[in-house]
Structure 1
């Protein structure tokens, strides 16, 4: 039965009609907000995370109905199947066991393989960090360049940036993902070949963008005087295709393993996180895993009514499917979490941007929302005007740490104040009477311009401090939130077939840009054919880029 034909869906639709015009400021009024207060009822603490979801357009009845929806769509059963290693990715006939990567239980799935690879990572990372791993001229490594794209870049880059206050200052970590040569060139201008280590991260070792960048940096090493035999000290790979790695010229001893039961966007916990481990050290990497594991246990065993990922996922469904919200904002009030919105874009939109159910039927309801955002307070001076007074309702996740990662006096108090004030203002709004009181009789024309509708939903996610354990828990929270929504929508969050068509066509067009006769272009539409023809005029037979 289609999701929107379920009786509980009809009950939620009726409930939405009942409360759609209610204003949150009335629910928070002194007369209505009696102990236990709304904030008490709608705040949960677990795994070092506090979630205040009281500023949402929900009542106790809303939560009760949403929990019923979770039960009727078998969220618990699908969750348990994932944790026990059942095939939850049917189109690729794979398990999804990223949770096993952070489980220290010797009886968990693939425990022996994971332990072996983790030891190998640890030994290698320590050698690089201690200066024992040296380049072809005998100098210790000072620069690590992670070359990957998608999950092989976004997760490691986000974590390394977030925890750079714990990083070893002698070693700089760089990330290259874009096939645009500017990305790689900008990094090459900052490093020297004698003290640089390249980590090539690609499950298949055939990803076009990654291999183009890998070949270019290999050529850069060779032009510096590094012989093919000496490249052993400057290249390691993370891949599931050792034959291709060796063919590229990387020693078999320098290969770290990937597994098909870990999807790319869930892979930072594996050897894909090697750059993280080099940056913050094996002990802090372990703490990152521990934080995620704490949240895993909470997701697996906490009752649905007090389950952080379940509630976040259900709130997302509530706004996407009943309020019709097409996007939501992630606003971390932490410069350290600058790359978190980009990471969550891939996590949620690549996972749940699907229009086909697990059994192959087209959905007739919305699935993934568009995820976007920037850190506060920068975002307040960029797009918050629309969030406050625009006609579109955009739910927001505010994320902040109660403890600063710096020692500058006065800054953190201002940061906290801005975050708390924004969520309050978005909830309260400003009535016409309040606006008139501010404007005064002589400026009556100003009144409509300073009215704020309020009633804009927000979550506030608090960390006691930003450390490896709390960050691990935060990432796992959003992983499981994504899974909960996929379970409700009856879609597969672990494949990404929509990415493939563009890859296939790009390979054809790349050849046509440099070598194919004009006649072959007529298999394209007129727009694409014209674009290719125009581009060919500006392409020389051989690139002459000099680094």
Structure 2
């Protein structure tokens, strides 16, 4: 039973990080791994060979190897919905039929991009991409990370139903040169379709005779898109077995592929596939996503850490913490096991973070001297993304490395207000350069890490029923059927909308 493994792990003596480095002069080489243009330094975590061995035994007991193979083979690993989770197939890894289908849909996407680039559908200069959750956050994060500033198309990704998010885009864009891309797996997402209708209304007001002729739909339900009014030749389907937060590899990535070029999208897929192969073929003790998950579980279950902080020391990666919030907390924010029993362990930690060096002057006070123990993850890129003086990028990297060193080392002082306890863990992930392939590998690493955490928790990371409850309540509030919610909510509704 896994409870025995947890007892073993919790009973293990634990040295401080400084002691671990003093004891093992080869610690960095043991716990730093490199793959697909990324360097992962786990040496400033409390992982050691004994702890990794104990987690490896637990992983074997829980059938991690078989579950990994089931995931990649396209078996129904999403047991609550009886569905596979085939995001790897989008990258060319997995069930041959699913891989062939994904390739065919990618080619369809590529063909439509070529048609649009030729001007056959109109002289477009702007793209409005509408979606929510993974249908928007993935494309937005990719575009922010990889855009060059001289793209043929100006892309705006809008997800919020708040009109303040959409209206400035409409004011800035030319309706006659705007392509509307609607991304919705079911093509019934209320927020996305309301935003889409507002864009259609804007185009009509601007004198566009056939606004729906400027629409592309990205969906797993093409019939719904046709019913909404999208021409079937401008619908890019993707598989029902690709979940929203894993969908940027599918047709959901169309807007980024159009704005940045299909070759960029292809490189993204190739980088992710390289990490897929590493996850599939590498022993647990050298498997990067697996080691990361072992550290996650140690800090969550043994040290009681309720959060994990992610700081991107590169402005281009500023949306990665937001992206990880959805990936990890929507996947592993569960309270029951695979068989429906109450989860006796802590589920996903709360993921939060920001951009360095800004965060150093805000939240790092808590990280260094607060009473919470917060594992920290640093993301940085060796090659600068700007052409200014090297002092900018050098200072950025030095600050990143210094923060990890300071969290570990601490600094003793007789003045308690100036005392830094130290022994605070961190992982540093270095990209050689920020390009599509290395970003693809990084994101695939996070996906597999999330999956391994779910296996260690014995939960299903591929459903998200908790997302639905708030939507149901919103629909109930909007309905004029006499149904009422609690007194507090009804008062709020009354104050906002009147009696």
Q: Please report the TM-score for the alignment, with normalisation by the length of structure 1.
A: 0.89
Matches within 5 A, 1:221-370: 221-228=203-210, 231-232=212-213, 234-370=214-350
- In the alignment, the residues of structure 2 paired with residue 108 and residue 284 of structure 1 have an alpha-carbon distance, to the nearest angstrom, of 24
Matches within 5 A, 1:382-531: 382-409=362-389, 410-432=391-413, 436=414, 447-512=415-480, 520=482, 523-531=484-492
Match of 1:150 in 2: 133
- In the alignment, the residues of structure 1 paired with residue 173 and residue 494 of structure 2 have an alpha-carbon distance, to the nearest angstrom, of 37
Structure 2 residue 153 is matched with structure 1 residue 161? no
Q: 1:395 to 1:462 in 2, by over 3 A?
A: same
Whether the 8 Å CA contact 1:84–1:109 is kept in 2: the answer is no
Q: Secondary structure at the match of 2:179?
A: strand
- In the alignment, the residues of structure 2 paired with residue 422 and residue 455 of structure 1 have an alpha-carbon distance, to the nearest angstrom, of 12
Whether the 8 Å CA contact 1:24–1:56 is kept in 2: the answer is yes
Post-superposition offset of 1:377: 0.7
Post-superposition offset of 1:115: 2.1
Match of 1:534 in 2: 495
Post-superposition offset of 1:133: 4.3
Post-superposition offset of 1:67: 1.6
Post-superposition offset of 1:168: 4.7
Structure 2 residue 107 is matched with structure 1 residue 119? yes
Post-superposition offset of 1:247: 2.2
Structure 1 segments of 4+ aligned residues over 3 angstroms from their partners: none
- In the alignment, the residues of structure 2 paired with residue 85 and residue 472 of structure 1 have an alpha-carbon distance, to the nearest angstrom, of 21
Match of 2:155 in 1: 173
Q: Secondary structure at the match of 1:267?
A: helix
Post-superposition offset of 1:240: 2.0
Matches within 5 A, 1:122-141: 122-128=110-116, 130=117, 132-135=119-122, 140-141=123-124
Whether the 8 Å CA contact 2:238–2:250 is kept in 1: the answer is yes
Whether the 8 Å CA contact 1:100–1:109 is kept in 2: the answer is no
Q: Secondary structure at the match of 2:449?
A: helix
Match of 1:185 in 2: 167
Match of 2:21 in 1: 28
- In the alignment, the residues of structure 1 paired with residue 485 and residue 260 of structure 2 have an alpha-carbon distance, to the nearest angstrom, of 49
Structure 2 residue 55 is matched with structure 1 residue 66? yes
Post-superposition offset of 1:134: 4.5
Whether the 8 Å CA contact 1:133–1:141 is kept in 2: the answer is no
CA RMSD of aligned residues (A): 1.5
1:38-72 CA-partner distances (Å, limit 9, x unpaired)? 11111111122111111112322112212222212
Whether the 8 Å CA contact 1:426–1:454 is kept in 2: the answer is yes
Whether the 8 Å CA contact 1:168–1:280 is kept in 2: the answer is no
1:238-297 CA-partner distances (Å, limit 9, x unpaired)? 112222212222111110102111000000000000011012211111110000000000
1:351-378 CA-partner distances (Å, limit 9, x unpaired)? 0000111111111111100001111111
Post-superposition offset of 1:507: 0.8
- In the alignment, the residues of structure 1 paired with residue 369 and residue 431 of structure 2 have an alpha-carbon distance, to the nearest angstrom, of 29
Structure 2 residue 166 is matched with structure 1 residue 194? no
Q: 1:27 to 1:112 in 2, by over 3 A?
A: closer
* Greater radius of gyration (CA): 1
Residue range with higher mean Cα deviation, 362-371 or 168-177: 168-177
- In the alignment, the residues of structure 2 paired with residue 185 and residue 133 of structure 1 have an alpha-carbon distance, to the nearest angstrom, of 28
Structure 2 residue 85 is matched with structure 1 residue 96? yes
Post-superposition offset of 1:471: 0.2
- In the alignment, the residues of structure 1 paired with residue 212 and residue 16 of structure 2 have an alpha-carbon distance, to the nearest angstrom, of 64
Whether the 8 Å CA contact 1:126–1:281 is kept in 2: the answer is no
Match of 2:5 in 1: 8
Post-superposition offset of 1:210: 0.5
Equivalent residues, number? 498
- In the alignment, the residues of structure 1 paired with residue 489 and residue 463 of structure 2 have an alpha-carbon distance, to the nearest angstrom, of 28
Post-superposition offset of 1:505: 1.3
Q: Secondary structure at the match of 1:504?
A: helix
- In the alignment, the residues of structure 1 paired with residue 494 and residue 104 of structure 2 have an alpha-carbon distance, to the nearest angstrom, of 52
